[in-house]
Amino acid sequence: MKKVGIVMGSASDLPVVKKAQEVLTSLGIPNEMHIYSAHRTPVEARDFAETARDKGFGVLIAAAGMAAHLAGAIAAGTTLPVIGIPINSSLNGLDALLATVQMPSGIPVATVAVDGAKNAAWLAAEILAVTDADLAQKIADSRAKNAADILAKDKELNK
């Protein structure tokens, strides 16, 4: 199975990003996390992006707040799918959301909600599941369990 690389622009992003790692781990998806800044460690961020495919990654997740250039910088250095997580560090995350989602043609970044690390992980899993039937089944099973849990709560509510 391909790995998912998770990159955050600052150690302060870890509480949000850890939620993505938890989802990936629960699905049995190998992953690793790094702290690389688009502005403070641009050489290392670029090197990570350029070598990710050769190192067995299938999807990259990049999280950053404020200027939030990390996802775009990572996407510019790879042809792997990149999922951006805008981090709420100012302006309720709107600045990071706009910086993450507004990419030039040809360098896409799939963007989830502000602090949406769990959905970033689920999207990464779905991308990998395109060629992995076992993973696709794990995702389907998780969705079925979620639906059953909600229906059980509904039944309790209406007793």
The answer to whether residue 137 is domain-embedded is no
The answer to whether residue 29 is domain-embedded is yes
The answer to whether residue 108 is domain-embedded is yes
Domain span including residue 104? 3-132
The answer to whether residue 144 is domain-embedded is no
Q: Residue 65 maps to which CATH number?
A: 3.40.50.1970
Alpha-carbon torsion angle 8, 12, 15, 21, nearest 10: 20
Each residue's pLDDT, cut to its tens digit, for the chain (159 residues) gives 899 999 999 999 999 999 999 999 999 999 999 999 999 999 999 999 999 999 999 999 999 999 999 999 999 999 999 999 999 999 999 999 999 999 999 999 999 999 999 999 999 999 999 999 999 999 999 999 999 999 999 999 988
The pTM of the full predicted model, rounded to 2 decimals, is: 0.95
CA distance 40 to 26: 32
What pLDDT is attached to residue 110?
98
* Total tally of structural domains belonging to the chain: 1
